[in-house]
């Protein structure tokens, strides 16, 4: 009898140990139900707002592009997505891949449109054989079919376009002030610089102290060129105490300070 009572107590104790905790289950059920309802409502709202993209609005001032080109690039990257699920970054990259596109932005425009703003590249010069380069020294067109003839010709080894463009922009302002214009800037594989003016005069700066030599050219030789450009073939600034002038129809004459008769210190 005693053993039977102990067994009954043990079973009663075990049954009490498996009871669910005393929680407000009804309130929790209401909370979870409300959360699920919100999730379903959010899904329904996204589905409602994710309308097919009916139109593409293109903003920008174009000379080499057209709004139709931009719209085709946009639609090629939609992949059937709606206004909510569209990958805006993918669309932007697709537009940016077009020739002559510098900067592109893409935004949703409710209820069923995308707005695309495009800024065109501005070519500041031709680069080497047939490339075009912008003011940041970035090559954006290779083997261009049409190259504006008024653009200067810049050239240099691979990877030097930013340096050559910066040199061109720094020199152009000083030369324009004297009533002339740069039409070419060359950087050779040895690091030597050469400028060509629109009057046909070549300026040799070499590969040492280039900034100092250009300043000396701008302050001394440029005035001489402005007066006698038709007589001058080149100006050689590769001397430490002056410069040499090569005349078109005579032997080279030295100008400035007294110069050594030997060749300049660098090629």
Give per-residue pLDDT as tens, 14-34.
Answer: 555 556 566 565 655 556 555
Residue 147 pLDDT grade (very low, low, confident, very high; cuts 50, 70, 90): confident
Which of the pair, 156 or 240, is modelled with greater confidence?
156
Interhelix angle 88-96/67-75, rounded to 10 degrees, is 140
Amino acid 111: pLDDT? 87
Nearest-5° angle of CA 217, CA 191, CA 123?
80
CA 55/CA 215 separation, integer angstroms: 56
Amino acid 176: pLDDT? 96
pTM: 0.75
What would the pLDDT profile of 34-91 be if each residue is shown by its tens digit? Answer: 555 555 544 544 556 678 999 999 999 999 999 999 999 999 999 888 998 999 999 9
What would the pLDDT profile of 102-122 be if each residue is shown by its tens digit? Answer: 999 999 998 899 999 999 999
Amino acid 145: pLDDT? 74
For the chain, which residues make up each domain, given as ranges? 55-120, 125-255
Amino acid 130: pLDDT? 83
Query: What are 72's two structure tokens?
Result: 């085709």
Sign of CA dihedral 225, 228, 229, 235: negative
Q: Is the pLDDT of residue 8 over 90?
A: no
The superfamily CATH assigns to domain 125-255 is Cell division protein FtsQ/DivIB (3.40.50.11690)
Amino acid 256: pLDDT? 45
Amino acid 260: pLDDT? 47
> H/E element holding 187?
strand 182-187
Could you give the C-alpha distances from 72 to 10, 57, 77, in angstroms and in order?
79, 12, 9
What would the pLDDT profile of 171-229 be if each residue is shown by its tens digit? Answer: 999 999 999 999 999 999 999 999 999 999 999 999 999 999 999 999 999 999 999 99
Q: Is the pLDDT of residue 257 over 50?
A: no
Name the DSSP class of 140. Answer: E
Task: Give 55-120's CATH code, choosing from 3.30.460.80, 3.40.50.300, 3.10.20.310, 2.40.30.20.
Answer: 3.10.20.310
Average the pLDDT over 231-247 and give the result. Answer: 92
Amino acid 61: pLDDT? 93
Amino acid 143: pLDDT? 77
Amino acid 148: pLDDT? 80
């Amino acid at each position: 009898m005693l053993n039977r009572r102990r067994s009954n107590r043990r079973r009663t104790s075990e049954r009490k140990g498996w009871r669910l905790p005393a929680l407000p289950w009804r309130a929790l059920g209401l909370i979870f139900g409300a959360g699920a309802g919100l999730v379903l409502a959010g899904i329904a709202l996204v589905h409602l707002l994710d309308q097919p993209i009916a139109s593409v609005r293109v903003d920008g001032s174009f000379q080499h592009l057209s709004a139709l080109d931009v719209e085709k690039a946009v639609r090629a990257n939609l992949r059937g997505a709606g206004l909510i699920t569209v990958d805006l970054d993918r669309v932007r990259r697709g537009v940016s891949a077009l020739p002559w596109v510098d900067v592109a932005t893409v935004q949703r425009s409710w209820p069923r449109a995308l707005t695309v703003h495009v800024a065109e590249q501005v070519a500041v010069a031709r680069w080497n054989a047939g490339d075009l380069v912008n003011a940041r020294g970035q090559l954006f067109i290779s083997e261009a079919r049409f190259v504006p003839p008024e653009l200067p010709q810049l050239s240099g080894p691979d990877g030097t376009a930013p340096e050559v463009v910066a040199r061109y922009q720094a020199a152009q302002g000083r030369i324009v002030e004297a009533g002339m214009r740069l039409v070419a800037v060359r950087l050779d594989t040895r690091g030597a610089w050469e400028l060509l003016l629109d009057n046909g005069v070549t300026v040799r700066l070499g590969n040492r102290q280039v900034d100092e030599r250009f300043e000396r050219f701008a302050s001394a030789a440029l005035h001489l060129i402005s007066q006698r450009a038709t007589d001058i073939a080149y100006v050689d600034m590769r001397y430490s105490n002056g410069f040499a002038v090569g005349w078109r129809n005579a032997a080279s004459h030295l100008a400035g300070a007294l110069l050594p008769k030997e060749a300049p210190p660098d090629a």
